[in-house]
Amino acid sequence: MDKKNTTIGVLLLLAAFASFYFTSRPGPQTTPTGLPVAAAPTTPTTPATPTPATTTPAVPANDAAFAAVVSDNANATVTTLANDYVELRLTDFGGAISDVAFKKYPAAHGSTAPFVFNETHAAPILAFNGFPGLDQSTRFQLVSATPTEVVYRTIFENRIEVTRRYILPAANDASADPYRIRHETTFRNLTAQIAPLPNVVNLGTSALVSSNDAGLYLNVASYDGDKPTVIDRGELEGGGFLNWIGASKNPPKSVIEQAGKVEWATVKNQFFASIFTPEKPGTGIVVRRVELPPLAGTSHTNIGLTGAIRLDLPVLPANGTTSFAGDLYVGPKEYTRLAKFSHNEDKVMQYDRYFFNRIFFSGYVAPALNWLMNGMHSFVGNWGIAIILMTLLLKVVSLPFTLAASRSAKRMQKMQPLMQAVREKYKDNPQKMNQATMELFKEHKVNPMGGCLPVLITIPLFVGFYSMLQGTAELRFQGFLWAHDLSAPDTIGHIFGLPINIMPILMGATMLFQMRLTPSPSIDSAQAQVFKFMPFLFTMICYNFSCALALYSTINGLFTIGQQLVVNKYTQDATPTPLGVPSGTGKSGKPIKNVTPQKK
């Protein structure tokens, strides 16, 4: 492919990433005021007979714009449900899930402690919100507890009996997902009067996963059966492109409520998510910001999100019973796992959320790449090698198109003297110039757009790979060569406070060498300067992306370099000569006077 087509491709990528950067950049953050952290679990007690509900006051919010972070009640009874993948800590305050530990995912690189979702929170997961006397401060009684099931019960104001049941799949249950919990809540009216019910259920609190996490995937989302709706942290902070350039000052919002059909709702960050899929679709979601303690090793503001789903619960009839049930997934954002669910829960991955994702078909490309990468990993057992093999396979598949484009570029390069002669002869007649140029292309069987096809293939693959990597939990803390985490930059040290990332530098070097090998038509000095600067610009843009993306691009570039060397060595097309139509030079190399068909 010639350098003009390469330039078009790179400029499209730059425009796409610039669009992504500006549309997802959060606004300025409020300085945290210091909040309490969830307390340690207490020792479980034996099941008790249901008694009227008791309540304790919740921790007040420090700022009306933020939901309050609450500490587990010191008197709480914590009951545990666990399998080989998760450990749920359920609290009798709210009869809900305090937090969930992921046994397969460490909290930090080299740590044996698991990552804990909802560890610091505004409310336990599936606790009721906004219904005083029957919320997270209400104490339930533990009715029963087995290795796979926990049941809570309370009586609200001597009027409503509330029973909450949690079922976790056993370790040997191959028919169920180990991260998915079945939940049922039943309301029974003990009086002869109708009664309103709590209909807002908490989904948990999501936080940044590391200091490298920019919060681009920290959001609350819902799915209406057609498309997902996403509320970012920046929408609450008053962020956005206009704010970033100073053209607008959107004030922070204390809460965002959105009405509409909800087949499932989620609170998530870059790698983990809490997804609740009710049997009967909900009617909306509620989102608030949460001030959290700074991440380990940092002192800057750490703002999380808490979300809730609004359920479609009718008024409880006199002496009647009603209930709601659903499946709660709390676990890693693994596409191959989520794709097995029946309500398109895999859209949590956000592969096609942004405009630049959609124009490059990332909604189709990224899932295919994820499936291919996981398939390669199942054979080799190393994610870095899996990425290399996947890259090579994609290059082999696209090889016929790339070789055809390379040969076309070589022919175009050798046709430059003929084309220059046409331009000189018809510089005052653009119509005849175009006609003669097209005759040249036709005569020498050169497609002027032939070099574009590899670019049209490469860009969707690159953007799809970028989209896929952003939320692929499988790559978190997976090492390769000197990189200890393929989902983060491969920083090996710092110079004057600036990180030294090797893989993006190698990527830029391969791009630079590749461009020097690529045949190029005659170009002016301004275009030449653009060509020289592009590898450096692209390296700067990708410098702090995950090193898995740079690994993919580097291997792709090395393969392309080898391919171009072969093409340059073995493609020995003769200097183009006219095949019946004078085009500037003949087989003898002497100039041809006429470059257009002679009139009869």
Digit-coded pLDDT (tens) for 268-312? 999 999 999 999 999 999 999 888 887 776 667 788 899 999 999
Mean pLDDT of 306-332: 94
62 and 175 inside one domain: yes
pLDDT value of residue 437: 78
How many domains does one find in the chain? 2
pLDDT value of residue 561: 85
149 and 208 inside one domain: yes
Q: Is 519 helix (H, G, I), strand (E, B) or coil?
A: coil
Predicted confidence (pLDDT) at residue 213 exceeds the cutoff of 70: yes
Predicted confidence (pLDDT) at residue 594 exceeds the cutoff of 70: no
List, edge to edge, every strand of the sheet that includes 114-117: 78-82, 86-91, 96-106, 114-117
In SS3 terms, 103-165 reads as: EEEECCCCCCCEEEECCCECCCECCECCCCCCCCCEECEEEEECCCEEEEEEEECCCEEEEEE
pLDDT value of residue 525: 59
Mean pLDDT of 223-233: 91
461 and 518 inside one domain: yes
Predicted confidence (pLDDT) at residue 600 exceeds the cutoff of 50: no
Of the pLDDT bands very low, low, confident and very high (cuts 50, 70, 90), residue 570 is: low
Mean pLDDT (the chain) is 79
Of residues 429 and 495, more confidently modeled = 495
Strand partners, 274: 267, 330
Strand partners, 45: none
Q: Is residue 589 part of a domain?
A: no
Contact indicator for 109, 210 with CB cutoff of 8 Å: no
Q: Is residue 288 part of a domain?
A: yes
Last residue of a domain, one of 350, 380, 397: 350
Own/partner long-range contacts of 413-418 (Cβ < 8 Å, ≥24 apart): 413/2, 413/519, 413/520, 413/521, 414/573, 414/575, 414/576, 415/440, 415/444, 415/446, 415/576, 416/521, 416/522, 417/584, 417/585, 418/576, 418/583, 418/584, 418/585, 418/595
Q: What is the DSSP letter of 61?
A: P
Predicted confidence (pLDDT) at residue 25 exceeds the cutoff of 50: no
Q: Dihedral (C-alpha) 561, 562, 564, 566: value to the nearest 10 degrees?
A: 160
Q: Which tokens belong to 17? A: 């990433």
Q: Is residue 296 part of a domain?
A: yes
- Number of C-alpha atoms within 13 angstroms, CB side, residue 386? 21
Contact indicator for 322, 187 with CB cutoff of 8 Å: yes
392 and 307 inside one domain: no
Contact indicator for 581, 597 with CB cutoff of 8 Å: yes
Of the pLDDT bands very low, low, confident and very high (cuts 50, 70, 90), residue 63 is: very low
How many C-beta neighbours within 10 Å does residue 397 have? 10
pLDDT value of residue 88: 95
Q: Is residue 181 part of a domain?
A: yes
Predicted confidence (pLDDT) at residue 448 exceeds the cutoff of 80: no
Q: Is 468 left (phi over 0), alpha (psi -120 to 50) or beta?
A: alpha
267 and 322 inside one domain: yes
Mean pLDDT of 508-530: 69
431 and 316 inside one domain: no
318 and 410 inside one domain: no
d(CA 260, CA 183): 23
Of residues 337 and 291, more confidently modeled = 337
Q: What is the CATH number of the domain that holds 275?
A: 2.70.98.90
pLDDT value of residue 104: 93
Of the pLDDT bands very low, low, confident and very high (cuts 50, 70, 90), residue 585 is: very low
Of the pLDDT bands very low, low, confident and very high (cuts 50, 70, 90), residue 60 is: very low
Mean pLDDT of 304-332: 93
pLDDT value of residue 341: 94
Q: Which of 477, 339, 327, 462 is nearest to 391 (CA)?
A: 462
264 and 124 inside one domain: yes
pLDDT value of residue 48: 43
pLDDT value of residue 3: 47
pLDDT value of residue 52: 53
pLDDT value of residue 580: 43
253 and 298 inside one domain: yes
Own/partner long-range contacts of 236-239 (Cβ < 8 Å, ≥24 apart): 236/287, 236/288, 236/289, 236/305, 237/26, 237/27, 237/28, 237/29, 237/289, 237/303, 238/27, 239/25, 239/26, 239/27, 239/28
The residue range of the domain holding 11 is 3-18+372-570
13 and 78 inside one domain: no
Share of the chain above pLDDT 90, in %: 36
Q: Is residue 431 part of a domain?
A: yes
d(CA 39, CA 74): 7
488 to 215, 344, 468, 491, 544: CA distances (angstroms): 14, 28, 14, 9, 8
Predicted confidence (pLDDT) at residue 396 exceeds the cutoff of 80: yes
Mean pLDDT of 121-140: 91
Predicted confidence (pLDDT) at residue 138 exceeds the cutoff of 50: yes
494 and 564 inside one domain: yes
Q: Is residue 594 part of a domain?
A: no
Q: Is 305 helix (H, G, I), strand (E, B) or coil?
A: strand
Of residues 29 and 10, more confidently modeled = 10
Strand partners, 152: 142, 164
Query: Highest mean pLDDT: which of 74-78, 127-131, 288-292?
Result: 127-131
205 and 112 inside one domain: yes
Strands 282-292 and 66-67: what pairing?
A: parallel
Strands 96-106 and 86-91: what pairing?
A: antiparallel
Q: Is residue 357 part of a domain?
A: no
Listed range (179-183, 385-389, 456-460) with the worst mean pLDDT: 456-460
Listed range (98-107, 375-384, 404-413, 501-510) with the worst mean pLDDT: 404-413
Mean pLDDT of 379-392: 92
Q: Furthest-apart CA pair in the chain: how many Å?
A: 108
Q: Residue written as tokens 């309490």?
A: 36
Predicted confidence (pLDDT) at residue 407 exceeds the cutoff of 50: yes
Contact indicator for 585, 577 with CB cutoff of 8 Å: yes
Listed range (51-60, 99-108, 198-207, 518-527) with the worst mean pLDDT: 51-60
pLDDT value of residue 530: 66
Of residues 232 and 266, more confidently modeled = 266
Listed range (7-16, 467-476, 528-537, 580-589) with the worst mean pLDDT: 580-589
Q: Is residue 559 part of a domain?
A: yes
